């Protein structure tokens, strides 16, 4: 339903507003755009509040016979307040990118010759969205990235930060579309010197950043260029308020939008299970379980044997290992532990060493097993057990001493003691 708010503003939504009192917009890099509206419906109108959730809302501004989109998004909250015959409905909506911020995903990107843009496209496509790559098309990642319990939105924000840029939500389509990098193909705007304020903010110990702020009734976008007193700036955030029948925009401008580098703190101390896919020198390539055991690239991680130089051996292809992280960066990962596959566990405390012939040393938390086909020696809880499918030979050039609290010698056939 389309509502004409005044001579310029139109709103399309499922709410049959008869009067709009107020609405606001907040649009910043690395954040979903947010739109809030308060209005009234006729007292006899019944509005299904449940149907409003996830519905679309479109706000348009008419200028010289042409319609400009101010916001197009998805309703995320709805509230009706009834006082007598007065019904007030408040809505909160977000940009379509909120769809990309719902499902947590786990996936590795180990093809280090791919570009930042390629990785971002893959992550967004899996979550059902689209991406416009302004930056990162010609810059290879050079190191592995792992999306670990992150949404596509969170992962792309972190990915962009390592490129020194940001992501921006699209607010004009109502769809899950994001810009990877600041849009630099916008309009060039001229503001006179008396139309702005300057705000100085300390961004770290050594640097102070100046932000320019101005108000306007005109519609501009994040990324639009601004010529101000001979200086070229870019619009880095947009906010708007409609109140008392008037719509006013507030724009914040900088020389360049700077983004801090984001890391995933969960990586520190994390272990991811996988299978050795390739061995090269003292490094291994790992097909991780989070990728369904499929190879996602040829990056080589350093292999750190827990024994140091003692019993040192590289794992064989097909060996289950743990990819561990000492810090918060995926590049700081290293391969460690031979996981005990016979115990059917990913617990790094249950490990084994196996040969291609099937001989095994089980290094378990409560026992030590030496296995050779059907023969075994087991040490556990102070006990020693030996099993053989054929013969057990004990020999010594001098003496053999056997001592026990009780000694049992048992045979289903016969027992022979021979001398000489």
- What is the model's pLDDT at position 138? 94
Contact indicator for 157, 167 with CB cutoff of 8 Å: yes
Query: Counting beta carbons within 10 angstroms of the beta carbon of residue 226, is it exposed (0 to 12), middle (13 to 18) or buried (19 or more)?
Result: buried
**pTM metric for this prediction:** 0.81
User: Strand, helix or coil at 140?
Assistant: strand
pLDDT in tens, 148-184: 999 999 999 999 999 999 999 999 999 999 999 988 7
Those residues of the chain that have pLDDT short of 50 are none
Contact indicator for 302, 283 with CB cutoff of 8 Å: yes
Q: Which residues lie below 8 Å from residue 148, measured CB to CB, with a gap of 6+?
A: 106, 264, 266, 267, 270, 272, 290
pLDDT in tens, 338-388: 665 555 555 555 666 666 566 777 667 677 777 776 777 777 777 777 877
Biggest alpha carbon–alpha carbon distance for the chain: 119
Integer Rg of the chain from CA: 33
**What tokens appear for 182 in the block?**
């600041």
- What is the model's pLDDT at position 57? 97
In 3D space, the residue among 338, 353, 352, 354 whose CA is nearest the CA of residue 303 turns out to be 338
Query: Counting beta carbons within 10 angstroms of the beta carbon of residue 10, is it exposed (0 to 12), middle (13 to 18) or buried (19 or more)?
Result: middle
Structural domains of the chain, with CATH: 2-94 (2.30.300.10), 265-379 (2.40.50.230)
- What is the model's pLDDT at position 179? 97
- What is the model's pLDDT at position 140? 96
In 3D space, the residue among 354, 360, 281 whose CA is nearest the CA of residue 319 turns out to be 354
């Amino acid at each position: 339903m389309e509502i004409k708010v005044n001579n310029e503003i139109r709103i399309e939504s499922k709410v049959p507003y008869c009067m709009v009192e107020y609405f606001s917009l907040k649009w910043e890099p690395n954040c979903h755009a947010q739109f809030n509206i308060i209005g009234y419906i006729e007292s006899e109108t019944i509005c299904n509040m449940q149907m409003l959730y996830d519905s679309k809302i479109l706000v348009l501004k008419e200028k010289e016979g042409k319609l400009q989109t101010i916001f197009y998004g998805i309703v995320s909250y709805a509230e009706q307040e009834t006082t007598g015959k007065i019904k007030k409905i408040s809505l909160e909506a977000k940009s379509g990118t909120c769809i990309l911020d719902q499902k947590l995903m786990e996936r590795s990107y180990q093809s280090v010759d791919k570009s930042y843009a390629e990785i971002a496209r893959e992550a967004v496509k899996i979550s059902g969205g689209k991406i416009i790559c302004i930056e990162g098309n010609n810059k290879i990642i050079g190191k592995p990235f792992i999306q670990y319990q992150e949404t596509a939105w969170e992962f792309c924000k972190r990915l962009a930060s390592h490129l020194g840029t940001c992501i921006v939500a699209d607010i004009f389509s109502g769809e899950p579309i994001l810009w990877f990098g600041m849009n630099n193909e916008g309009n060039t705007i001229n503001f006179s010197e008396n139309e702005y304020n300057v705000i100085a903010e300390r961004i770290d110990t050594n640097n102070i950043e100046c932000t320019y702020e101005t108000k306007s009734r005109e519609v501009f976008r994040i990324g639009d260029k601004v010529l101000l007193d001979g200086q070229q700036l870019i619009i880095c955030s947009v906010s708007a308020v409609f109140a008392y029948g008037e719509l006013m925009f507030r724009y914040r401008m900088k020389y360049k939008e700077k983004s801090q580098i984001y890391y995933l703190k969960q990586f520190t101390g994390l272990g991811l299970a996988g299978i050795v896919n390739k061995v090269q020198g003292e490094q291994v390539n790992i097909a991780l379980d989070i990728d369904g055991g499929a190879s996602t690239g040829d990056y080589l991680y350093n292999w750190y044997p827990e024994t140091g130089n003692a019993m040192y051996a590289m794992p064989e292809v097909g060996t289950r290992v743990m990819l561990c992280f000492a810090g918060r960066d995926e590049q700081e990962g290293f391969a460690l532990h031979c996981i005990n596959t016979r115990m059917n566990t990913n617990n790094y405390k249950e490990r084994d060493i196996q040969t291609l012939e099937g001989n095994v040393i089980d290094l378990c938390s409560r026992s030590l097993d030496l296995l050779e086909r059907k023969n075994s020696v087991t040490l556990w809880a102070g006990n020693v057990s030996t099993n053989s499918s054929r013969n057990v030979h004990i020999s010594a050039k001098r003496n053999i001493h056997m001592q026990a609290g009780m000694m049992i010698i048992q045979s289903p056939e016969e027992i022979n003691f021979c001398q000489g």
